Structure 1
Amino acid sequence: MRALRWHGKHDIRCDNHVPDPSIEDPRDAIIKVSSCAICGSDLHLYDGFMPGMQHGDIMGHEFMGEVMEVGSASKKLKVGDRVVVPFTIVCGECDQCRRGNFSVCERTNRNKEVADKVFGHTTAGLYGYTHLTGGYAGGQAEYVRVPYADVGPVVVPDGMTDEQVLFLGDILPTGWQAAAQCDIQPTDTVAVWGAGPVGQFAIRSAIMMGAEQVISIDNVPERLSMARAGGAITINFDEESVLERLKELTRGKGPEKCIDSVGMEAHAARSIDSMYDRAKQALMMESDRPHVLREMIYVCRPAGILSIPGVYGGLIDKIPFGAAMNKGLTFRMGQTHVNRWTDDLLKRIQDGQIDPSFVITHSVSLEQGPEMYKTFRDKHDGCIKVVLKP
């Protein structure tokens, strides 16, 4: 089969003659991929910021398709079903899964011992996302083996297009969870840093949850335009002071809720802060750039909430934790508990409350994937979200 594989920093290739996956466990299924996507989290692998990648690893964790084969113990699916596959691999039986904390499933990370050493305790296995999270083959391919297929996959109702439901596997529930973690009240201002795909869904989720106003912070005109179309007030950090504009919009109080939809590769306007992080990162003295976290801690209203769906992979520096403590801020963060939200979000799509396809700007063949990684990373050609068609 064909698949996009990681061969090193900035080296993604569409390889032919990659071995087809096969049933390895009675609970497995084999999916023929009809649509997959490049996620902002994939860029952390592309740029070499996440440890644990190996030469030839298959990329991608946003995918859906048709069930071609099921293991003998997989009773949920049948051949011919169309399914969206959440990026978190869940067993459905451990203590964390029973609590709905699916992204920290205790059983599915095949490299649990390594994850225990790095994180203190294991996280769930993830598709196409380093050997720290199990080393599972990803979904930017013609076929994928889906472990625990009797638990995770979401069966797609008849009549729905791939574009409507593909993002149920990651970025739609990620944006929704980001807003849900904020415990939004009718008088709240919610500020969202980053207007990429997750930020776009966080904006619309916060509005659906009843926020008084939502503010989007970015510097890419196409992203800011899309955010305004979704109901947000926008701040271009290249053109105006984020701090001063937030003061103005909140009558000096600061936003009650702040969402970091950026993560480890945060950019800032030309500042000492930005130069410091880039220098430390280049010297391998810091793995992630936490500019957004610093800014959120500073501007958030006392007793507010910081919600962090943006991915961080290692160590950060110069975090004003004293300010966070003395202001009584609450941090809520983590990979998305996708299956906690999918039933509700699928119904919202069916009812017309949201059509997730608005975020797609590019739809191309799998062979064009390697060049689209660079286009997406550099935000060229108005690129906000890329869908690949194997």
Structure 2
Amino acid sequence: FVPVDGELARSLASVRVFPAHFVTAAMQSQDFDFQVGRGVGFVEARRDVQFDITYPDGSKSGQVTRKAGAYASVGWMGFRPGVYTFETASQKVTIELDGQAWRDLRVVQTARETNPTRFNDAPPMQRRPQQAGRGRSYQDIQQPCLFEPPPGPSCAYPPQPRPQLSRQHAQAGASPVLVPPSDPAEINPMKLIPPARWGITGKQLMGLADLVEQKFTGSNDNPTVYQVVDELIKPLCREKRVSYAVLLNPKGKKCTTFVTHAWLESFLEFVDDIANHFSDFETRVFWICFVANPQTWPPEELSVLLGPSALQSPFAIAIQQCDVFLIVRNRSKNMYTRLWCVTELVLAHAYADGTIEIIGNMPPRAKSAGVDIGMSATCSVASDIALLRATIAMTGLDADALVAAVIQAPRGSKLRVSSE
């Protein structure tokens, strides 16, 4: 069992899952690399391996299969502190999680236990100095409400301190790192255009709305985003194998506004809400997931394009490079039952430079907390759940409180944020 010193820990992190400044320790065993961050850990397979995880309450994960280089995530968000066991056919690794850091790591060969080995600590993360001319940070906001509401009733939630995070990892991952094919003609534009340029103008979005009104008529004249993607966007984009935004803008368009929303909403109401919010709607450039990401790619190709972690995903990169983070609520679905929406909200609070703005109405009697909201939310790809919760944990922000504030905030509320 080989301990990894602090420098190698940071080296491993920069290549794999964690940004270097998140790593507090790392260890290696025969089958796994363990990278330990602030409130979360990643277990990466060093070779093709099958293993079972036993949690502190005695429950088991069932058999998990990972290819060499793939990883699983474990943290106390959603789990209780205590002993976790990773067992393969040849070894058993036992880890104790104390709620603040992974404490002791040991390998058990058959029935005989080795001596516990402690993690080596990496140097603490440093805060970058404040730059002149930046927008107000949370510490500068002297208001009792998390969001600055329009005239009228206001919410009552105190601001949270921003996490002290660097954005080095996002800059390093500004475009997907892929090995191009030998024939340049085969290179898909999605692999060449940086994610922050997967934008669509308001005028182009309104043009898509016109197509929707032409295609969806009669009893089906108010389709959801899901229906628009399946019945209109996918057929239009299938031949070129690009996103709808890149289909319209082959060289890309730099986004200024990141839009977070739920796909079960009315598409036409979604477009109208955005159009009515901005006086410069037609020329403004939006990053919207269902037109920014290629919708016809198979899952294995899409996973490569989206990157190895949520912090390196096109979503995170676009959030950090847009001036406005726009929350589009809707009357059909509480968007914060979707874990991707929760993650986007937390990343905006952690990294965005500009304003967080809220439009649209929540469903009647929408809950601001519950078993399926905030950190308890889920997503359509089961394997993403642990990864997204781990990403949220690394920011140190209270996701449930942020979600509750958005749900309760009046329409038109704004909050100025800064990453510095």
Q: Which has the larger radius of gyration?
A: 2
TM class, shorter-chain normalised? Answer: under 0.3
TM-score, normalised by the number of residues in structure 2: 0.26
